[in-house]
A and B are shown apart, each in its own frame.
Chain A
């Protein structure tokens, strides 16, 4: 809105710098979707419950509906669009495809990034650990079983180090 006080911020999204003037109240998720045009991050509740908006902020999974864009000033953000390397899918994406870990696909970007964080911290999780790690992400379609299968499948195939988003982000920077 014209006349509102705005602040200039710079956020590196998937390795690309985005510099914009924004209202301080702008949510990070709206910055990603409406300002940066990356609509892969979804909004399912705006109240930090559903996890559809999960992104990695400086290597930690956050719900971007509860972070202000100005709080992410200077940070590195990884969204679903930044996970694959060109045509090559990330092993977690491969796994969701292989195990039918999605139906409508709306929760999927958030699920994948949450799984990504889990596997960074715990490369060989048990079914129980996976279910607990996904507890902040709601899926109404799958009943979670195929999602759990997908995370297990990915865990078996991920080479150590591949899940470090920061390295990836840096290497994508031209």
Chain B
């Protein structure tokens, strides 16, 4: 490989010029001539029978072209797909519009198609629905109680699935323990809130029998296959385009009712049809994340050694499964070992149907839950044993020499140096001094808290069928086209993939175009999620570039009449060893390859290669985050004084992009810790149905983040990169909560459930004060 010039460099993004000028084309920016607009009537009830549905007046409204109901189209559009899950999985039929009963507030009941979007919305008001309300259950624990209303009458109860993961000798671990530390933990429901909500445009060309669907999706290829199936078309009749996508965070890693519905309407009406999700619809009908309630038990020795961990958890599924709903909670079980040597671990999981929107993958998807469990527990253990939380962590880390490190949960962590990241973060934060300050300030009635999180996460999804596709093609004019099956939506792979190819082929960055997100151009792909785009998709691109180079070498050797081994390659040019003047640039070779007049015997024309990469293992990025807060017990206000993060995602292609991912991730994790929670009342009404009552982190809420990295390459792929899309979110949440709990330790506080709102903090301080535990130090 030539000396890398671009890989590792802070290269400005190539996608930015169009975006900073407002010229990016998101779904809602696509305006095809003759487009019809869809508005969806959604259920105001969380659980009800549809007694009657009258759509005549809506149909007669001027400008309305069609009105459809679930009963009318259920035989024409298939149900929504579900992936993953074990033999206990129960899959209720999930229609694109409710057929005779609704199971959550926001479930689509009917759709109006009209000449413009205002008219479509007007006509919704003319549809008359009579509902027969049924008893509602929204609390997942109550949903599993014997007296709970049952949401899907096909089954006797609300169990969506169960799973049990158990490894190591837990009985022994708990028998040998000096202490058992217990904690109940709630991972509240969150709304992903990409700032671009969802949207779909579908156009059916009847003459060509060709359906094109533009969707704000992370998975155009998977969506294509699923739409073909739902609409009973062949795959070659369906093209899916993910144009500019305004953020996803897992929420667009799905196949949604509206995608099937809008495509169907275009087929039926033979005109382009468009639906743009409003923000309140986004709260009601786009997947939520997290939603687990669990009891943890840790068996520990006096010195802080963790012998075993039990996690008994209920996952809140919502009313139906979405695409990966059953796959998310088990991820938590897989990652429960965190970055520690824990010989025995179990997770007993029961997933419950509730009258709410489905949960599914949201940035981190199962791993933030695991990290929160283990990182909160390590701090709880430290508090119980009166040992510094840093010591407990160090005590249980595997040594760098122990990698690949096998966990009790059956994973093999690829590479890592946990003590290094920790020491670096402690130094950067000034840990010793912080502890002295904390002591000093406490004596003056000020409450400083220091929280750590030493996380490890699982990335680069993944082995076993989760490949990604890439192609590199040198055009006759010497410019390079790169195709990728990944579908970036802000992560910047148009830049990082070009960096990889530019280095490999020795061509200019500006001569490379990266194309993604269109199933008609990119023959196959899986998509962007699970921090896989670069660590899997980037490798497919890299391998293809290598293949192109090898082919170019063969052609050069043929043209120059020398052995391929007698050629040097540098700066995009093959030259004869010892005779540097004799040679061809890759562009000249491309031209020869396309002319195909003088190629090695049997070689086909053109200079291109594609490949697929499927990693042999996951990758495991890790790091240490330290959060320092000051809590004001009189008001419950929390001020973040300092935030330090040392992250390790292996080799880095573009530090600018990696920093961006970490910063955005950390803030999203802080959102969970401080502000965010999707709340349904006991009637299933969504109380946080708009950005007015669901708080996202804002610029003024946040401190300046102090970031640095260590670099432990992974052996899993040839570039040594691990992936960084979710690490920030996974690492930050527990650091924040640990800091706040640490600050309030003098009040006897041992745990606080998220979000840590001032009201909650204030009440807690009041209660402990009232209980007379103030000053217990």
A103 interface hit (Cβ, 8 Å): yes
Chain B proximity of A106: nearest CB distance (Å): 3
Chain B proximity of A88: nearest CB distance (Å): 11
From A68-76, A135-143, A160-168, give the one contacting chain B.
Answer: A135-143
Contact partners of B622 in chain A: CB under 8 A: none
- Contact check, A93 vs B702: say whether CB atoms are below 8 A apart: no
Instruction: Pick from B15, B244, B667 the residue with the most CB of A within 10 Å.
Output: B667
In whole angstroms, how far apart are the Cα atoms of A57 and B17 in the complex? 24
In whole angstroms, how far apart are the Cα atoms of A97 and B697 in the complex? 23
From B379-387, B477-485, B517-525, B652-660, give the one contacting chain A.
Answer: B652-660
A170 interface hit (Cβ, 8 Å): no
Contact partners of A42 in chain B: CB under 8 A: 26, 28, 195-196, 246
Contact partners of B31 in chain A: CB under 8 A: 34, 37, 39
- Contact check, B195 vs A139: say whether CB atoms are below 8 A apart: yes
Chain B proximity of A145: nearest CB distance (Å): 5
Chain B proximity of A24: nearest CB distance (Å): 12
- Contact check, A146 vs B660: say whether CB atoms are below 8 A apart: yes
For A65-99 the 0/1 string (1 means CB < 8 A from B) is: 00000000000000111011000010001001110
* Chain A interface, DSSP helix/strand/loop, else mixed: loop
- Contact check, B29 vs A39: say whether CB atoms are below 8 A apart: yes
**Number of A residues whose C-beta is below 8 Å from B?**
62
- Contact check, A47 vs B691: say whether CB atoms are below 8 A apart: yes
Total residue contacts A-B, CB cutoff 8 A: 185
- Contact check, A100 vs B660: say whether CB atoms are below 8 A apart: yes
From B97-105, B487-495, B535-543, B560-568, give the one contacting chain A.
Answer: B487-495
Known: A100-B12, A102-B19, A141-B247. A46 touches B667 (CB 8 A): no
Closest to B664 in A: A143
**Number of B residues whose C-beta is below 8 Å from A?**
63
- Contact check, B22 vs A127: say whether CB atoms are below 8 A apart: no
For A23-42 the 0/1 string (1 means CB < 8 A from B) is: 10110001001100111111
Known: A97-B17, A102-B20, A106-B26. A144 touches B702 (CB 8 A): yes
In whole angstroms, how far apart are the Cα atoms of A139 and B660 in the complex? 12
- Contact check, B20 vs A142: say whether CB atoms are below 8 A apart: no
Contact partners of B498 in chain A: CB under 8 A: none
Which B695-739 residues have a C-beta within 8 angstroms of A? Answer: 696-700, 702, 704-705, 728
Contact partners of A25 in chain B: CB under 8 A: 118
- Contact check, B22 vs A103: say whether CB atoms are below 8 A apart: no
B13 interface hit (Cβ, 8 Å): yes
Contact partners of A147 in chain B: CB under 8 A: 699
In whole angstroms, how far apart are the Cα atoms of A53 and B665 in the complex? 24
In whole angstroms, how far apart are the Cα atoms of A112 and B278 in the complex? 23
Chain B proximity of A64: nearest CB distance (Å): 13
Closest to A150 in B: B20
A125 interface hit (Cβ, 8 Å): no
A107 interface hit (Cβ, 8 Å): yes
Which B77-91 residues have a C-beta within 8 angstroms of A? Answer: none
Known: A25-B118, A104-B489, A140-B668. A46 touches B279 (CB 8 A): yes
Contact partners of A13 in chain B: CB under 8 A: none
In whole angstroms, how far apart are the Cα atoms of A174 and B492 in the complex? 38
Contact partners of A47 in chain B: CB under 8 A: 279, 690-692
B200 interface hit (Cβ, 8 Å): no
In whole angstroms, how far apart are the Cα atoms of A127 and B16 in the complex? 24
- Contact check, B24 vs A105: say whether CB atoms are below 8 A apart: yes
Contact partners of A52 in chain B: CB under 8 A: 195
Which single member of A34, A93, A145, A146 contacts B20 (CB below 8 Å)? A93
B351 interface hit (Cβ, 8 Å): no
Contact partners of B244 in chain A: CB under 8 A: 104-105
Contact partners of B50 in chain A: CB under 8 A: none
- Contact check, A138 vs B659: say whether CB atoms are below 8 A apart: no
Can you list 20 residue pairs at the A/B interface with Cβ under 8 Å? A1-B116, A39-B26, A42-B246, A44-B197, A47-B691, A50-B279, A89-B17, A100-B656, A104-B194, A105-B19, A105-B20, A105-B244, A106-B246, A135-B698, A143-B664, A143-B697, A143-B702, A144-B667, A144-B698, A145-B663
Q: Which 4 residue pairs spanning A and B have beta carbons closest together?
A: A40-B22, A106-B246, A105-B19, A104-B490
Sample of 13 more A-B contacts, CB < 8 Å, known A47-B691, A140-B664:
A3-B62, A33-B28, A49-B691, A81-B21, A100-B12, A100-B13, A100-B659, A102-B20, A103-B247, A106-B195, A141-B247, A143-B668, A144-B698
